[in-house]
Amino acid sequence: MSRSQNDFDIETRLTSQSAFIDSATGAVNPPIHYSSTFHQHQFDQFGPYDYSRSGNPTRKVLEDMIADLEGGAKGFAFASGMAAISSAFMLLSAGDHVLISEDVYGGTFRMITQVLSRFKIEHTFVNMTDLSEVARSFQPNTKVVYVETPSNPLLHITDIEEVVRLAKAKNCFVFVDNTFMTPFLQRPLELGADIVIHSATKFLSGHSDVVAGLAVVKDEQLAEQLGYIQNAFGSILGVHDCWLLLRGMKTLGVRLKQSSQSANEIALRLQSHPLIEAVYYPGFTTHPGHSVHFRQSSGAGAVLSFSLPNQATTKLFVESLKIPVFAVSLGAVESILSYPATMSHAAMPKKEREKRGITDGLLRLSVGLENVDDLIKDIEQALLVASKIGEVTEHV
């Protein structure tokens, strides 16, 4: 019995990897091929694998799987999200120009400003939510528009289809970092993007145990070019991490559904709390990107941000919490609370940060799989401590 993946919903396809595994044994999980090289049976005709940097059967299962989920021609697995992003940027040449979201992931900001600039690849940061600003910012040498939606940490929404329309009119490629949504909630290639990129370290793997990156290219010709770079640059994902990632991906649907539902409940509760100044969450109809987001995605996701009045109350709040991990990263079974001011955006000058709304009171919460009532109780008791001390310091 052979199974064509395309007959099924993504939730079903996530759970079954057998379509991509060599069918010789019937195994439902791929074997881990710890082999750097492959014997060639014939002198003058080589098999599908020769050396594991160029291709490995375990990695191929993962690469075929993500290509299927995103609906692209070919998938590629890299050593990290940044390796995937950097490799995609290597499709560019000296003299080319990139239009990029101003609130892009910190590591991408660093790569663009500190590394690519040395290779004479130019960039302009734009507010991607403002389509007229995007339209005005193209240059004759613009080759790529780089989008992250929802963005980090304020969850700004970019209209992927509209950006694609502007980019195609200028003969530019569109790359989308789909880390926050995953193909379970949003499939940028179906909206016209050329390459979709993931930090698979986050929701796709889901257990805070792997650092990995994935990219999927929509058409064969560009896929061939990225495949060439993957092999030439060599920043591939090791086979054991490929296997761990595949294992994590099986439960992506159920994890993201549950976490998103809990995130929604927590967002509502935070919004009605007097100590909370703002909640940033695309699930709210009052979020400025709400309608665009739900046109291109099937859910709000499991990440939200919120702000407390100042650093002192934020510190007390964080120190009073018992459940969430206080750490960088997101998208795991455990809830992860981050403090952008000193974590993801530490390198940004305070003035620049605050101009972007990343204040000393801003926290980002990636909601995990704990019981949501436990999470809410924990958050409420920590807010109570923070507000009491807030009152005390005000009177001093």
Ligand X SMILES: *Cc1c(COP(=O)(O)O)cnc(C)c1O
Min dist. Cβ of residue 69 to ligand X (A): 18
Q: Annotated catalytic, 353?
A: no
Minimum CB distance to ligand X smaller for 208 or for 307: 208
User: For ligand X, which residue of 177, 194, 241, 360 counts as binding (CB under 6 A)?
Assistant: 177
Minimum CB distance to ligand X smaller for 362 or for 386: 362
Q: What's the first-to-final CA gap in the chain, in angstroms?
A: 75
Min dist. Cβ of residue 28 to ligand X (A): 27
Sign of torsion, CA 164 166 171 174? negative
* Token duo for residue 155: 């969850």
Min dist. Cβ of residue 2 to ligand X (A): 34
The active-site residue out of 68, 74, 105, 218 is 105
Q: How many residues bind ligand X (CB under 6 A)?
A: 14
What lies within 8 Å, CB to CB, of 186 at 6+ separation is: 178, 296, 297, 298
Give 219's DSSP letter: S
User: For ligand X, which residue of 152, 235, 262, 359 counts as binding (CB under 6 A)?
Assistant: 152
Minimum CB distance to ligand X smaller for 79 or for 135: 79
Do β-strands 173-177 and 142-148 pair in parallel, antiparallel, or remain unpaired? parallel
Q: Annotated catalytic, 44?
A: no
Touching ligand X, residues 184-213 (CB under 6 A): 199, 201-202, 211, 213
The active-site residue out of 13, 143, 202, 218 is 202
By rule CB under 6 A, what string of x and - marks binding of each residue 77-116 to ligand X? ---xxx----------------------x-x---------
Q: What b-and-e string marks burial along 234-259, b requiring 16 or more CB atoms within 10 Å of the CB?
A: ebbbbbebbbbbbbbbbbbbebbebb
Minimum CB distance to ligand X smaller for 101 or for 313: 101
What is the rounded CA–CA span in Å between residue 263 and residue 364? 11
- Exposed, middle or buried by CB within 10 Å (0-12, 13-18, 19+), for 71? middle
By rule CB under 6 A, what string of x and - marks binding of each residue 239-278 to ligand X? ----------------------------------------
Minimum CB distance to ligand X smaller for 148 or for 241: 148
Q: What are the DSSP calls for 151-210, one per residue? A: -TTT-----HHHHHHHHHHTT-EEEEE-TTTHHHH--GGGGT-SEEEEETTTTTT-SS--
Picking from 281, 382, 287, 376, the residue whose alpha carbon sits closest to that of residue 335 is: 376
Tokens 């052979």 found at = 2
Residues at the contact surface with ligand X, assessed by CB under 6 A: 80-82, 105, 107, 148, 152, 177, 179, 199, 201-202, 211, 213
Catalytically active residues are: 53, 105, 177, 202
